[in-house]
Amino acid sequence: MKHIHQAKGIKYIPKKYIIEKGAISAFHKAIIFEGEVNDNKDDDSTTSLYKLCTPATFTRYLKPGALETEIDNPYSDRLDGSSEWSYISEIKAGDTITVSGNISEVKIRNGSLGEMCIVKSTLN
């Protein structure tokens, strides 16, 4: 077991996702195009405007598996500070995506509430 301060380079176990139409539809209805999504399973004639593909924020739920090496993390809270994404093509229902990566940077900072450990992960 490594302490979180020495976690740089530890890899995540790859995790595979099969993108389901229902998940995309539910995401659209809840967040983006409420009431405007044609998710009729029998309708293949959907226009490109309403064609069901994922919005950019959909991929936030695609996380890698656990870390390959267990880490000792004494910090009680976790905050996702930001993300950068590159998209090569649309993500559509039926696509299979595997998410992997590693911890690419660990920084220790002192703030008004005490010590903070900032962990940066690079995902593929």
Please give the biggest Cα pair distance in the chain: 57
Q: Output the six-digit token pair for 56.
A: 């950019």
Q: What is the pLDDT of residues 63-113, one digit of tens each?
A: 999 999 999 999 888 777 778 888 788 888 899 999 999 999 999 999 898
Q: Tell me the one-letter amino acid at 108.
A: I
Q: Which residues pair with 115 in a beta bridge?
A: 110
Q: Output the six-digit token pair for 49.
A: 């405007």
Please check the confidence at residue 40 and state whether its pLDDT lies above 70. no
Q: What pLDDT score does 46 carry?
A: 47
Residues contacting 90, CB < 8 A, separation 6+: 53, 54
Q: Kindly write down the DSSP assignment for every residue of 28-76, as one continuous string.
A: IIIII-TTT----TT-----TTT--B--GGGGGG-----BSS-EE----
For the entire predicted model, the pTM comes to 0.73
Q: What pLDDT score does 21 carry?
A: 87
